[in-house]
Amino acid sequence: MIVLPDFLATSIYYLQSYHRPESGFHMNKSVTYHILHQGRVEYTLVTPGSPPHVEVKIMGENIAAGEMRQLIVGTGIWKSSRLLTEDLESAKSQEEQDRCFSLITEVVVPGFDWRDHEWMRMDDLDGLFKDIDGGMMIVESMRKRKM
C-alpha cells in the first residue's frame, strides 16, 4: 500500500462557467482560502447550530459595492458557490456566455484530503433548518440550486 504524506497546504484553480455555474454544498475539515482571479461568484455559507447561521458573500472586483477578492471559510461550514443570476441572464450571445465565468484559487490548510470532505445530502439540509422559523423557505431556496 502506498501512503501519501500529509501536506501543509494544497491549492487548485476552480472554474465556474456559464454552462456549469453552480457547485453543490460541501464541507471541509480544513480552512479554505478563496482568492478571486476573474469574474464574480456568490458563496452561500451555512454554519450548523441552533439556529444555523447563513451568510451570502459575493466575490468580485467592485469593493465599493461590498464585493471581496478573498474569502476565508473556516472548518465545519457548509459552502456552495454559483455565478450571479444577473450575470448569467445578461449573457445573451455565445461570446458573452463564453466570457461569463469565475476563476478562483482555493488554498486548503492543512492540505486537502478526500477523507476530510463531505457532500451535503438533502436530509442534511432538512435537518439543519427543520426547527427554525422560515427554515423550510431556506431549504426550498437551496433546493432550487440543484444541490
Model pLDDT for residues 88-135, shown as the tens digit of each residue = 999 999 999 999 999 999 999 988 888 888 998 877 777 777 777 777
Mean of the pLDDT values across residues 68-81? 96
Predicted confidence at residue 49, as pLDDT, reads 84
Q: Which of 22-26, 48-52, 119-123, 131-135 has the highest mean pLDDT?
A: 22-26
Q: What's the CA gap between 136 and 147, in Å, rounded?
A: 15
Q: Fold for 10-120, please state it.
A: Jelly Rolls (2.60.120)
**For residue 147, is pLDDT > 60?**
no
Q: Which residues contact 125 (CB under 8 A, 6 or more apart)?
A: 25, 139, 142, 143, 147
Q: What's the CA gap between 88 and 132, in Å, rounded?
A: 32
Mean of the pLDDT values across residues 73-87? 95
Q: What is the pTM of this model?
A: 0.85
